[in-house]
């Protein structure tokens, strides 16, 4: 099968970038022909923000780029991951002009929420879910704390809802969890055209044996619960030690916390292989996110290394983590409850030992490349049969 993948890379590399690359590697290893059309947000710093915002609704250059690729190499399906802001929905129209079925993976909530997170002012927010033009987000400046930039994103969302882009140009939507699927159905997307395919992780080899420290690897932002985690560390027992890896707007706060609290070590940005090694040698992986995660790929990475996860029972994470079997729940945004969960894990080495075997089995049952490939191919065949 010939598959053309389209992806708009992020300035700060994250789970969407990792997932898209992993899918392409898997498809190639299974004998499929893959061509990538990539756009990179790193160029935005050299462009005027207002121009980028306008082109987020329709980028003629992206349309022409995809047309050239389709004319020279006719794929069986176009698989679109992130298209915001440089690719724009123009790529959907270009694919359908040439009669190529389109699969759109819903890695985040951008088509319902301009901020893509359903998160505002320290809490979950679904105010825009039922709006064709998401005006509440503009009023609150939800995207990058800017009403002007939010208006540009809202224009893209509203324009393509009214134009019928998602109804007419997409053959199959792919949600990465049942929770995310339900949110898109609530937002007016047709249930019959949304398939569920979780992310997967390439097997990193045998599971690790655990170690003395807790570990968190994350984008360092408010909605990821980093401030809650730092507050919780002030409330945990004197023996609890935490390693944090990542980058983002809250990096200075993490560095200050590490300088103040000797039980916190900040590691900065690490190669992916090192992250996996640290997961395997961690006592528990902490996932403190406070927004409706669509999936949480990093949780499955921890599972692949046999490491239990401490996470909030919120969004799709409630599907992935099973309290008492593969990890521990805490109340999202509650530093005291997170500290309680960390202290419980610290005090239960025997339970953690039995959990390590269980989480590895969970990975092998649900999140291997082989299992994901079966689902992926069924989605492609469905799109080709019903373009």
pLDDT digits (tens, 9 = 90+) for 222-253: 999 999 999 999 999 999 999 999 999 999 99
- What's the pLDDT band for 281 if we cut at 50, 70, 90? very high
d(CA 65, CA 340): 53
- Take residue 307 and report the two structure tokens written for it: 């490491």
Among residues 4, 164, 174, 132, which one has the least CA distance to residue 78?
A: 4
Give yes or no for residue 19 having a pLDDT over 80. yes
253 belongs to a structural domain: yes
Sheet holding 309-312, edge to edge: 264-268, 242-245, 214-217, 285-287, 309-312, 327-330
Asked if residue 182 and residue 40 are part of one domain, the reply reads: yes
Burial environment of residue 379 by CB neighbours within 10 A (0 to 12, 13 to 18, 19 or more): buried
pLDDT at site 49 = 58
Asked if residue 163 and residue 109 are part of one domain, the reply reads: yes
Give yes or no for residue 329 having a pLDDT over 80. yes
pLDDT at site 207 = 84
67 belongs to a structural domain: yes
345 belongs to a structural domain: yes
Could you read off the pLDDT of 163-197 as tens digits, one per residue?
Answer: 999 999 999 999 999 999 999 999 999 999 999 99
pLDDT at site 209 = 85
Compute how many other C-beta atoms are within 10 angstroms of the C-beta atom of residue 155: 18
Domain that holds residue 342: 214-366
- What's the pLDDT band for 202 if we cut at 50, 70, 90? confident
207 belongs to a structural domain: no
Give yes or no for residue 50 having a pLDDT over 70. no
Give yes or no for residue 47 having a pLDDT over 60. no
225 belongs to a structural domain: yes
pLDDT at site 11 = 78
Could you read off the pLDDT of 63-100 as tens digits, one per residue?
Answer: 999 999 999 899 999 999 999 999 999 999 999 999 99
pLDDT at site 120 = 92
121 belongs to a structural domain: yes
Domain count, the chain: 2
Q: Which residues does 251 contact at the CB level (< 8 Å), separation at least 6?
A: 220
Asked if residue 378 and residue 361 are part of one domain, the reply reads: no
pTM, two decimals, is: 0.89
Asked if residue 253 and residue 104 are part of one domain, the reply reads: no
Q: How far, in Å, are 248, 282, 370 from residue 356 at the CA level?
A: 30, 11, 22
d(CA 348, CA 350): 5
d(CA 173, CA 102): 9
The CATH number linked to 336 is 3.40.50.2000
């Amino acid at each position: 099968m010939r598959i053309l993948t389209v992806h708009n890379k992020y300035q700060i590399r994250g789970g969407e970038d990792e997932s898209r690359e992993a899918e392409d590697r898997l498809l190639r290893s299974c004998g499929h022909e893959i061509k990538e059309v990539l756009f990179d947000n790193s160029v935005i710093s050299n462009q005027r923000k207002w121009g980028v915002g306008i082109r987020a609704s329709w980028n003629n250059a992206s349309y022409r780029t995809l047309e050239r690729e389709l004319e020279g190499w006719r794929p069986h399906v176009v698989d679109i991951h992130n298209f915001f802001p440089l690719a724009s929905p123009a790529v959907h129209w270009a694919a359908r002009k040439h009669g190529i079925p389109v699969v759109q993976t819903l890695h985040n909530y951008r088509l319902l929420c301009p901020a893509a997170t359903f998160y505002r002012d320290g809490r979950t927010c679904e105010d825009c879910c039922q709006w064709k033009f998401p005006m509440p987000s503009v009023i609150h400046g939800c995207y990058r704390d800017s009403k002007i930039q939010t208006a540009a994103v809202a224009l893209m969302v509203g324009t393509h809802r009214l134009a019928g882009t998602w109804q007419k140009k997409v053959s199959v939507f792919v949600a990465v969890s049942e929770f995310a699927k339900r949110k898109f159905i609530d937002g007016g997307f047709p249930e019959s055209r949304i398939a569920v395919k979780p992310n997967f992780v390439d097997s990193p080899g045998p599971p690790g044996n655990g170690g003395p420290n807790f570990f968190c690897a994350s984008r360092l932002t408010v909605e990821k619960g980093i401030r809650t985690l730092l507050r919780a560390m002030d409330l945990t027992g004197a023996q609890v030690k935490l390693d944090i890896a990542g980058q983002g707007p809250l990096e200075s706060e993490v560095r200050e916390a590490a300088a103040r609290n000797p039980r916190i070590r900040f590691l900065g940005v690490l190669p992916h292989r090192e992250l996996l090694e640290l997961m395997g040698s961690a006592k528990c992986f902490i996932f403190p996110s406070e927004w409706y995660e669509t999936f949480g790929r990093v949780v499955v990475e921890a599972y692949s290394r046999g490491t239990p996860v401490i996470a909030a029972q919120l969004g799709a994470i409630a599907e992935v983590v099973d309290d008492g079997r593969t990890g521990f729940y805490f109340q999202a945004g509650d530093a005291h409850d997170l500290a309680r969960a960390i202290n419980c894990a610290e005090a239960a080495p025997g339970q953690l030992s039995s959990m390590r075997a269980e989480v590895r089995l969970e990975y092998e049952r649900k999140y291997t490349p082989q299992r994901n490939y079966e689902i992926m191919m069924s989605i492609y065949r469905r799109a080709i049969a019903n373009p």
